[in-house]
Structure 1
């Protein structure tokens, strides 16, 4: 019933990912590995785990993830066969031993509530596999609007890998191709689960690896991530605005404001003002303007403080 899809590119942590699949207490799953024309051949690792679980390994002739991670996800999904559920597992993430077992143990309730999206609890690990953000659980049943506003308020976290999606929904609605696939998973959770709930299994978890090799840990792509946040919020406000309460829209705008402050321009400023007026009201736009002025004043004061400190050091040197 479960297809675990791995869009493969990086070798460094892949052994631990495969080991976590070998350790599953229930082997009712099949793994589909789509090699995105990687320069790092994983064949020796696959040979190591031969017979530990069922897998299908395919090498693509061209690299697609470099230009579109979402398109790479979709061509890996196309490798799957008759499974009903899909998990897209990162090649550096690690599953707890009981993920598959608990998924099946909860099948009755998942089916009764017509669930399309199942999620696991999460831990966050570093390059050494050390946990630096401990286990995070979720409400057993939660709608996607509440989830997104909790995430934007930093009251929860999520990634693609800890979710299982009903395959027919994925094939029908598909993942949307946002920049770096940043928020593509968030949008998918909204689109795939609505109008039903997200179902959480909190006794099983995924360890999300954050390293310099991951998009999350790569600070050089921050501008692209901020632009993707603008793109994501534009979709929320243009297609799903009626699904969110006024309070939830305020949280979305707060998230967008952080992105704006990192990529300020006249175009993004106009977008922010328009969103505040349309989604909340004119007063909200005025308050945003005052916050922006306050932010600029703080920046100026910081610069003056730095200048004063540098000048004080210079004056001491001159006196000597």
Structure 2
């Protein structure tokens, strides 16, 4: 039985054939392909059949488009059908190197021995013409999950969804977080699915992530949704992972959170306030270790128009 599922949530046909070509070209065929059509106006069946004969893939033709409302639910709808131990969610405009599956199996025993439940491949960003925009490589075989999460959140390193392989059992325990545009959902999945175990890094495969004006990250007409997503992202971390991460990192998150709340003219979530009220030791530790910065944060928020309503 195959141990790897390649899951493609499909909607845009623009670069879909390139995606299919890359999957078809795999040197190791021990994978199961799942494609979920999120009520796209462009039927992809002829393209799929061009590379994969009927019966060699799992296709779900959904009548309701939910990706425009909730990307995480679009992924979950397809993942409910997966039976393999590991899965990759591959964007419908992204590509994998021909040795992607082969490299996965070559390292699987080591991954299991290390206790990892998240595997990452090197990745590059490409534009609509396939030209490399940015190249992201790494040397380590594995990395502490908390450190990696802090680095990607603070944009010291790059991460997205397509270059990850997740253990299905860990996904079932946590699920993908429901955040607008799924902006940050991939970051949280990498961290939360890892269960604080090391993240394993492949060395020889490659994932090409396409960034265009059709992609969420490449567009600039969705800034309001992105701001809401940032707020939700911050609230999840401050509510659920306050004790797990570095204090300086948490303080930076508070700074970012207050900034986005002020810009959005919103009040701080009651869940976040009570998180600190009922964990005074954590609050005291943050204050004593970062007194000056903390005072600046509180002063900035007091000066906001909404402060008097708390």
Does the 8 Å contact 2:120/2:201 carry over to 1?
yes
SS for the counterpart of 1:208 is strand
Alpha-carbon distance change, 113 to 38 in structure 1, aligned in 2, over 3 angstroms: same
CA distance in 2, matches of 1:173, 1:104: 25
Q: Which stretch of structure 1 is more off in the superposition, 50-59 or 154-163? A: 50-59
Deviation, 1:286, is 2.7
CA distance in 2, matches of 1:138, 1:232: 28
1:288 matched to which residue of 2?
A: 297
State how far apart, in whole Å, the 1-side matches of 2:261 and 2:203 are: 35
Matched, 1:86 2:87: yes
Q: What does residue 32 of structure 1 align with?
A: 34
Deviation at 1:11, TM superposition (A): 0.1
- 3-state SS of 1:164 partner: strand
Instruction: Give the TM-score normalised by structure 1.
Output: 0.82
Q: CA deviation at 1:268?
A: 5.6
Alpha-carbon distance in structure 1 between the residues aligned to 2:224 and 2:266:
16
Distance 2:100 2:255 in 1: 35
Structure number having the greater helix percentage: 1
User: Offset at 1:189?
Assistant: 1.4
| Consecutive unaligned residues in structure 1, runs of 5 or more | 294-320
Q: Deviations over 1:135-166 (max 9, x none)?
A: 33263211222112211332211111111111
Report the TM-score when normalising by structure 2. 0.85
1:24 and 1:96 in contact (8 A); partners too = yes
Report the counterpart of residue 189 of structure 1 in structure 2: 190
Deviation at 1:97, TM superposition (A): 1.4
Judging changes above 3 Å, is the alpha-carbon distance between structure 1 residues 240 and 4 closer, same or farther for their aligned structure 2 residues? same
**SS at structure 1 position matched to 2:67:** coil
Q: How many residues align?
A: 291
Distance in 2 between residues matched to 1:168 and 1:6, nearest whole Å: 19
Alignment of 1:264-279 (within 5 A): 264-265=264-265, 267=267, 278=283
SS in 1 for 2:243: helix
1:63-102 alignment to 2 at 5 Å? Answer: 63-80=65-82, 82-102=83-103
Q: Distance in 2 between matches of 1:26 and 1:266?
A: 51
Matches within 5 A, 1:192-271: 192-253=193-254, 255-256=256-257, 259=260, 263-265=263-265, 267=267
Q: Tell me what 2:138 maps to.
A: 137
Asked if 1:58 corresponds to 2:60, the answer is yes
The higher radius of gyration belongs to 1
Compare 23-32 and 146-155 and name the one that shifted more: 146-155
Aligned to 2:140, the other structure's residue is in SS state coil
Judged with a 3 Å threshold, the aligned counterparts in structure 2 of structure 1 residues 59 and 138 are, in CA distance, closer, same or farther, namely farther
1:292: Cα distance to partner?
Answer: 8.8
- Distance, in Å, in 2 between the alignment partners of 1:100 and 1:87 is 10
1:71 Cα deviation from its structure 2 partner: 0.8
Partner residue, 2:167: 166
Q: Are 1:136 and 1:156, in contact at CA under 8 Å, matched by a contact in 2?
A: no
CA shift at 1:260, angstroms?
A: 5.2
* Aligned position for 2:307: none
Q: Any conservation in 1 of the 2:239–2:271 contact (CA below 8 Å)?
A: no
Structure 1 residues 147-156 or 132-141, which shifts more? 132-141
2:308 equivalent in structure 1: none
